[in-house]
Amino acid sequence: MEKKELSGCSDIAYKIMFSSPLGLSRSQLFVDFDKSYDRIPHSDINLENSISEIWDQRVQKNGSLFNGKKFRYGGCSQKSGDGSKSYVCLHLGLTDYRTFVGTNLNPSWEKFLVASEDDPAQCQHTSSPLGNGAIVETSDKKIVVLQRSNNVGEFPGHFVFPGGHPEPQDAGIETHEYSKDSKDSELVNKRISQEMFDSIIREVVEEIGVPATSLSDPLFIGLSRRVLNVRPAIFFFIKCTLPSKEVQQLYSNAIDGYESTQLYTVSMTEVEQMTSKMPGCHQGGFALYKLMVEALKNISC
């Protein structure tokens, strides 16, 4: 199931953890939310202590930092269903922004990794919060790309697709207490699965300013992880009923417009040229989109 791929860029690379070129709908994406997918503390006490030290340093520089809960990526599994339908299950635990800053963004982040070909085992000591991103296609077949502000914490000035994180709080999740009873656990898993789709719609609306009514229901096209600090992200394909010119106009009123300095609506060829200045996980997101485009071409032939 796992496919590995490196971009042509020597300093930023990605790994495709899972791809679904034809896209998966809400009913095809499942979640297994369990404490067993939480981060395992490292045995090196000094390395563990560096988490709080780095966080305290960051807070002193930026008092607006907030230590919110995040879903932790702990792997995924695939199964075939009736007919041609396939299903994917994301294995998720809980983590927080503080631990992300202190592990994945730690200057010594590689020391948290375990020598293993198995990704969850390799990253068992990192926070690895699950990010998300969307390839948004306008009605005139352009792709939306944002240029990040110079004030953001990660990859300032880089090109990215709209996205952020699915939020535990928005799914009504604060701890693992909800998942003790089997019936409650099933309901919690369903809520989190829906949050995977609802959150990417929210991110697109807030970051580029288009109304939710202009967006199609997202299709899950896969999951990529950047090699630099092993940051995972799920990606979706979304169609927008608005032309690129109107999307550009709406961007000026985007709620989270401060996170970016410019919105581009570009062709697939132009995106290709921008990928060298994208974070690795977003390079992976574009690779997932290209797999989707190729698969659709093969179907139409």
pLDDT (tens digit per residue) in 30-63: 999 999 999 999 999 999 999 999 999 999 988 7
How confident is the model over 180-197, as pLDDT tens digits? Answer: 566 788 899 999 999 999
- Of 192, 221, 187, the residue nearest 72 (C-alpha): 192
- Of 185, 40, 197, 10, the residue nearest 112 (C-alpha): 40
Compute the distance between CA of residue 187 and CA of residue 100 in angstroms, rounded to an integer: 27
Q: Which domains does the chain have, with CATH numbers?
A: 14-300 (3.90.79.10)
**Residue 35: how many other CB atoms lie within 10 Å:** 11
**Residue 257: how many other CB atoms lie within 10 Å:** 18
pLDDT band at 150 (very low <50, low <70, confident <90, very high): confident
pLDDT band at 6 (very low <50, low <70, confident <90, very high): very low
Quick one: how many helices (H) and strands (E) in the chain? 7, 11
Is residue 155 left, alpha or beta, with left meaning phi > 0 and alpha meaning psi from -120 to 50?
left
Judge whether 153 and 254 are in contact, CB under 8 Å: no
How confident is the model over 107-125, as pLDDT tens digits? Answer: 999 999 999 999 999 999 9
Mean pLDDT of the chain: 91
Distances (CA, A) of 174 to 31, 34, 169, 177, 241: 16, 13, 6, 8, 36
Is residue 2 left, alpha or beta, with left meaning phi > 0 and alpha meaning psi from -120 to 50?
beta
Compute the distance between CA of residue 118 and CA of residue 294 in angstroms, rounded to an integer: 28
How confident is the model over 66-103, as pLDDT tens digits? Answer: 899 999 999 999 877 666 678 999 999 999 999 999 99
Residue 202 has pLDDT above 70, yes or no: yes
DSSP 294: H
As to burial, measured by CB atoms within 10 angstroms (0-12 exposed, 13-18 middle, 19+ buried), residue 261 is: middle
- pLDDT score for 8: 36
Distances (CA, A) of 160 to 54, 84, 180, 260, 294: 26, 33, 38, 9, 22
**Residue 173: how many other CB atoms lie within 10 Å:** 21
Strands, E assignment, the chain? 14-24, 29-33, 69-80, 86-96, 131-137, 143-148, 159-160, 163-164, 219-226, 232-239, 260-266
Q: What is the pTM of this model?
A: 0.92
Distances (CA, A) of 140 to 210, 241, 253, 266: 15, 9, 21, 10
Compute the distance between CA of residue 66 and CA of residue 265 in angstroms, rounded to an integer: 32
Q: Where are the alpha helices (DSSP H) in 71-123?
A: 97-102, 119-122
Q: Which two tokens stand for residue 90?
A: 């994301």
